[in-house]
Structure 1
Amino acid sequence: MRVRAPELRGRRWLNTGGRELSLTDLRGRIVLLDFWTFCCVNCLHVLDELRPLEERFADVLVTIGVHSPKFVHEAHPHAVEAAVERYGVHHAVLDDPELITWDAYAARAWPTLVVVDPQGYVVAQMAGEGHAHGLGVLIEELIAEHDGAGTLHRGDGPYVAPPEPTTTLRFPGKIIALSGGGFLVSDTAHHQLVELDADLATERRRIGDGARGLIDSADGVPARFSEPQGLAALPPEVAAAVGYDVVVADSVNHALRGVRLADGRVTTVAGTGEQLRARVDVGAAGAELSTPWDVAWWRDRIVVAMAGSHQLWSFDPVGGAVTVLAGTTNEGLRDGAPHEAFFAQPSGLAVDDAGTLWVADSETSAVRSVVAEPVVGAAVSTAVGQGLFDFGFRDGPASSPDVPALLQHPLGVAVLPDGSIAVADTYNGAIRRYSPQTREVTTLARDLREPSDVLVDGTDLVVVESAAHRLVRVPIPAGARVDAGAHRVRRARTDLSPGSLELTIAFTPPTGQHLDGRFGDPTSLTVAAFPPELLLDGGGTAPGLVRTLRLTDPGAGGPVEGVLQVSVAAATCDGGDGEAGIFAACHRYQQDWGIPVRLVPGAPGELVLDLRAV
């Protein structure tokens, strides 16, 4: 049974020069309807898949994007206009905020593609991405059928290009500070990187010629990017070893690029330019990537927010290996071990002083954290967020069962001086703050246009206000700053002897509880130091409550003062001195210390800390 295609109805048309279209107007052409929404990375993949088809069949195929929003922000008229420009949509778009046409075609997923033949009948409907080849075959069959029947009309389509933008930046994505001063910004819609002075306006240079492509620098040929996003500076010793200083998440090229700042040379360091299609299991290496959106240096590797496959990956610049770090490729919100966790378009990364990786998990409107070696519990945890279909704009306790704090499609995170997390809450047009200590969410700034990244610069936040095509400064509130007064707060130093130090954690379980050793040592002790040179041996995480450390010798050129960082956890179960039953309640005790120390010959060679079981 042939089904007549329902009429196209919505709020307005874009990319048609103000003209309203109907299927009657398009009779005699093959019409491809692309139901999309601009938050959806799979929809963005389809936009790129359709470009070659639109060029190949330009005289017979009319592509119409039917924008069908998921998030509230995506229904705003200006947001739709910005998205059409941002992603280089070169076909007519029907803005359908009330999902009228979506419902008429019984669409159920983003993206959905519908093919209408030249006589106005639906001949195919498919969901998801990866259909370019099949669409090409179907279009060729329709051309042959309707050309022979005289029902195919060739000619130009209804697309009318909008005016060319004139802003200096165009939908910038991410920003990093450069060690020599100034900033590096991904000028995403211009397909370039821009190096700026501290005033955020004066350009030092541009990297890339501005045309969309995947070309490395060579013999005077300028490099090309395709919607570059995340940036990460390598440590100097790693940069010296590999020959480039910055890793770039080149999102639409599905590649990581390396940039040498001395001369702007660009090389491709991971990815083939083709999007990963097959499922990749944890630990497997792969040459193909899927829409890398952000990058950060973490635990001697580059961690990659692989938005297209809903995972975190890692990249070793020295060895070149690319491996899965966390996530199953299932899209959702699930905590747990790395190989069990679900993500949904991770898009922003930051690392705090304790080594925790913070993730803006955009499609679940969440902020997640990843701990490499958790003492107990999950490696991947959710700080803020409820799931794929829960979002909003609400301050308050993140863990409230009734009225939890809510975000809307965040794309960036940064660590504030006090250890709290600044969040670029993109679709709420706000900068939010999450406190790991209180688990509270507050709002630092509002009325921004799609902030996509945030960077701490002294007492300011530098915000990438993407839809306003600019960078702005927002003062960090005093409560989130570590200012001169905070730095001057004095704690009594502990004098310790250089060399061997016996560290003991004193812990006595409360009455009625015992250390639960049924599954191994139930304790975990982590030791580190700042500066790192203070601690020569005994650092890291291992079971036990006693450890022998070796401290540096100031007489041999080591530091005289520093901070010894100690973290301990212990698990107990009810049941007195006997074995706990299977239904016994278990308890976890944890404490962290930052102990200012001074190394003095003849001082004590032991340190006893008390883990309170309360």
Structure 2
Amino acid sequence: MIPRVRAPELPQNYSWLNTDKPLSIKQLKGRVIILDFWTYCCINCLHILPNLKYLEQKYKDSLTVIGVHSAKFDNEKEIENIRQAILRYDIEHPVVVDDGFRVWEEYAVRAWPTLIIIDPEGYVIGQISGEGSRDTLDELIQKLIQQHREKGTINFQEFSLTLEKQRQPLITPLAFPGKVLATPVGLFIADSGHHRLVMSNFDGEILHLIGTGKSGLTDGSFNKAQFFAPQGMAFDAENQILYVADTENHALRRVDLKRQVVETIAGTGKQSHNIRPHGGAGLQTALNSPWDLVKVGNTLFIAMAGPHQIWQMDLETGIVKTYAGIGAEACVDGSLTESAFAQPSGITTDGKELYIADSEVSSIRGVGIVEPYQVRTICGSGGLFGFGDVDGEGEDVRLQHCLGVEYDHNYVWVADTYNHKIKLVSSSGNCQTVLGDGSAGLQDGQGKNTRFFEPSGLSAVGSYLYIADTNNHVIRRVNLETFEVTTLQFSGLCAPDVCIPPNL
């Protein structure tokens, strides 16, 4: 008989979020417990959150999920940054900040994400690493409830918590805007936390609100359509069509400005778990967290964060398929079919090469779209744990979970997200900080005498650069001649539940 292992107690003197007091294994006796070891940069960790939410709601009276946040990046160790991630991803279970990986080590965890299952008597009875385990967990929880009901060792009662979103409701006009796109017809903002798109002119006057502000996957008119945490966009000026990476719906959407309708053009609404290079008809091919887009001719190139690949969609035929990346999470240069990426989250182009913000290896990558079709690392260490904040050349450069890129006038602008900076990279790999002093904050001004808070999207038009300053819930504008940074004000814009939108 396999000896049962008692679950190590959780630290009471660490920081806890989404609860007004620390929780203990002993205090939760009589309930099934799932410990979710996660870090908020990790796409795989984000993918299991909907599964945990489903199980939490299904077994309200008998299951407690506790997030154990064991940070990968230095920036993720900050309590306030973890709180923002909890708000951004609408996490409704308690989270303990695993300072120094103590809980991780006590539970012998080896990778993100890992789930530890603890029975109502306080014994560890299972461990699952990776994604796609909802049905297995569901079955296991049902079995545990049945067994412990028969033994009389289960304690059915609902568990109440004080959530961060109750303390800090998201009532700002924008909520965690992930990307911004500056075009000749105006500014498009992915208002990711409000599950909608905002179109304005360059003076901040709202032209269109696209989406109801409630998460869902619904096509139709601008005031009926629904998105789920949309991110990157690309614009076809000739046909007045906006393409959208509808990230948490695992779909691509087309917004027709002339007809004022939204249509789904790729994805099934369900996450794909196939990481091998493949493809098919757009609406019959499941996608996996498309994060950013760029249009070249009739091809849409997609930073597909989930399977660590670059994809393409032929807008004439509707065929979507892998363009580069074998599906492994790594930094491998070479041919398109040998290359590997690590959660690519930003994409831009000069027409000959795609430039990629490869976030988990904190590097800027180049991907050829003309002969010889090679993948290269332009700057950054190329390692999963090679991060920091160092300007310089090529592999000596250190970035920290960069999420946004924009090609403009022979340079690539980079949103160095976890360093709270904007940097400028040449095609030869020279990288220099241009904006931000490296501290999280909201401060207008000039050059490095400015502050951002996890900026993750960039777009340039004319002599201005626009920045989605994600955790500040604002859009910033940079005069590219003076490097003066200002914060845009949007007249009449408010959170979906706060006021009645104007008749647009």
Alignment match of 1:156 (pick from 155, 158, 161):
158
Alignment match of 2:127 (pick from 115, 125, 142):
125
d(CA) in 1 for partners of 2:432, 2:127: 44
Equivalent position SS for 1:213: coil
Contact 1:282 1:326 in 2 (8 A): no
Contact 2:348 2:354 in 1 (8 A): yes
Equivalent position SS for 2:425: strand
Aligned residue number for residue 275 of structure 2: 279
1:169-248 matches, cutoff 5 A: 169-180=174-185, 182-199=186-203, 201-217=204-220, 222-236=224-238, 239=239, 245-248=241-244
d(CA) in 2 for partners of 1:78, 1:221: 34
Matched, 1:372 2:369: yes
Q: Which amino acid aligns with 1:379?
A: Q
Equivalent position SS for 2:103: helix
Residues 283, 86 of structure 1: CA spacing in aligned structure 2 closer, same or farther, 3 A cutoff? closer
Contact 2:70 2:99 in 1 (8 A): yes
Aligned residue number for residue 327 of structure 1: 325
d(CA) in 2 for partners of 1:319, 1:213: 27
Q: Which amino acid aligns with 1:189?
A: G
Contact 2:247 2:289 in 1 (8 A): yes
How many residues are aligned here?
460
d(CA) in 1 for partners of 2:279, 2:471: 37
Please report how far the alpha carbon of residue 408 of structure 1 lies from its aligned counterpart in structure 2 after TM superposition: 0.5
Q: Which amino acid aligns with 2:216?
A: G
- Residues 123-169 of structure 1, C-alpha deviation per residue, up to 9 Å, x if partnerless? 11111111111000000000101111111111222432332221110
Aligned residue number for residue 58 of structure 2: 56
Matched, 1:307 2:312: no
Please report how far the alpha carbon of residue 317 of structure 1 lies from its aligned counterpart in structure 2 after TM superposition: 2.1
Residues 460, 179 of structure 1: CA spacing in aligned structure 2 closer, same or farther, 3 A cutoff? closer
Aligned residue number for residue 383 of structure 1: 378
Aligned residue number for residue 359 of structure 2: 362
Aligned residue number for residue 458 of structure 1: 462
Please report how far the alpha carbon of residue 179 of structure 1 lies from its aligned counterpart in structure 2 after TM superposition: 3.0
Please report how far the alpha carbon of residue 106 of structure 1 lies from its aligned counterpart in structure 2 after TM superposition: 1.0
Alignment match of 2:434 (pick from 444, 450, 454):
444
Alignment match of 2:173 (pick from 168, 172, 183):
168
Equivalent position SS for 2:364: strand
Q: Which has the higher contact order (CA 8 A, sep 6+)?
A: 2
Please report how far the alpha carbon of residue 477 of structure 1 lies from its aligned counterpart in structure 2 after TM superposition: 5.5
1:246-261 matches, cutoff 5 A: 246-261=242-257
Q: Which amino acid aligns with 2:367?
A: V
Aligned residue number for residue 489 of structure 2: none
Aligned residue number for residue 595 of structure 1: none
Contact 1:109 1:127 in 2 (8 A): yes
d(CA) in 2 for partners of 1:135, 1:305: 31
Aligned residue number for residue 395 of structure 1: 391
Q: Which amino acid aligns with 2:70?
A: S
Please report how far the alpha carbon of residue 113 of structure 1 lies from its aligned counterpart in structure 2 after TM superposition: 0.2
Aligned residue number for residue 424 of structure 1: 415
d(CA) in 1 for partners of 2:134, 2:279: 30
d(CA) in 2 for partners of 1:198, 1:284: 39
Please report how far the alpha carbon of residue 445 of structure 1 lies from its aligned counterpart in structure 2 after TM superposition: 0.7
Deviates more, 1:128-137 or 1:467-476: 467-476
Contact 2:298 2:315 in 1 (8 A): no
Contact 1:451 1:463 in 2 (8 A): yes
Aligned residue number for residue 267 of structure 1: 263
d(CA) in 2 for partners of 1:341, 1:298: 21
Please report how far the alpha carbon of residue 282 of structure 1 lies from its aligned counterpart in structure 2 after TM superposition: 5.1
Residues 452, 77 of structure 1: CA spacing in aligned structure 2 closer, same or farther, 3 A cutoff? same
Equivalent position SS for 2:99: coil
Contact 1:294 1:305 in 2 (8 A): yes
Please report how far the alpha carbon of residue 478 of structure 1 lies from its aligned counterpart in structure 2 after TM superposition: 6.6
Aligned residue number for residue 26 of structure 2: 24
Aligned residue number for residue 412 of structure 1: 404
- Residues 573-598 of structure 1, C-alpha deviation per residue, up to 9 Å, x if partnerless? xxxxxxxxxxxxxxxxxxxxxxxxxx
Larger radius of gyration: 1
- Residues 228-273 of structure 1, C-alpha deviation per residue, up to 9 Å, x if partnerless? 001111252xx4xxxx711110111100011111353111110001
Q: Which amino acid aligns with 1:384?
A: C
Q: State the Cα RMSD in Å.
A: 1.8
Q: What's the TM-score once normalised by structure 1's chain length?
A: 0.73
Contact 2:201 2:207 in 1 (8 A): yes
- Residues 369-391 of structure 1, C-alpha deviation per residue, up to 9 Å, x if partnerless? 1112335xx61110012211100
d(CA) in 1 for partners of 2:467, 2:474: 9
Aligned residue number for residue 89 of structure 2: 87
d(CA) in 2 for partners of 1:225, 1:351: 26
Please report how far the alpha carbon of residue 315 of structure 1 lies from its aligned counterpart in structure 2 after TM superposition: 1.0
Aligned residue number for residue 500 of structure 2: none
Query: Unpaired runs of 5+ in structure 2?
Result: 437-450, 484-504
- Residues 184-204 of structure 1, C-alpha deviation per residue, up to 9 Å, x if partnerless? 1000011111112213x4323
- Residues 359-416 of structure 1, C-alpha deviation per residue, up to 9 Å, x if partnerless? 10001001001112335xx6111001221110010011124xxxx1110000010113
Equivalent position SS for 2:377: strand
Equivalent position SS for 1:367: strand
Matched, 1:2 2:4: yes
Please report how far the alpha carbon of residue 20 of structure 1 lies from its aligned counterpart in structure 2 after TM superposition: 1.5
Please report how far the alpha carbon of residue 221 of structure 1 lies from its aligned counterpart in structure 2 after TM superposition: 7.1
Contact 1:298 1:355 in 2 (8 A): no
Contact 1:35 1:66 in 2 (8 A): yes
Q: Which amino acid aligns with 2:433?
A: T
d(CA) in 2 for partners of 1:235, 1:313: 22
Residues 283, 45 of structure 1: CA spacing in aligned structure 2 closer, same or farther, 3 A cutoff? closer
Contact 1:284 1:324 in 2 (8 A): no
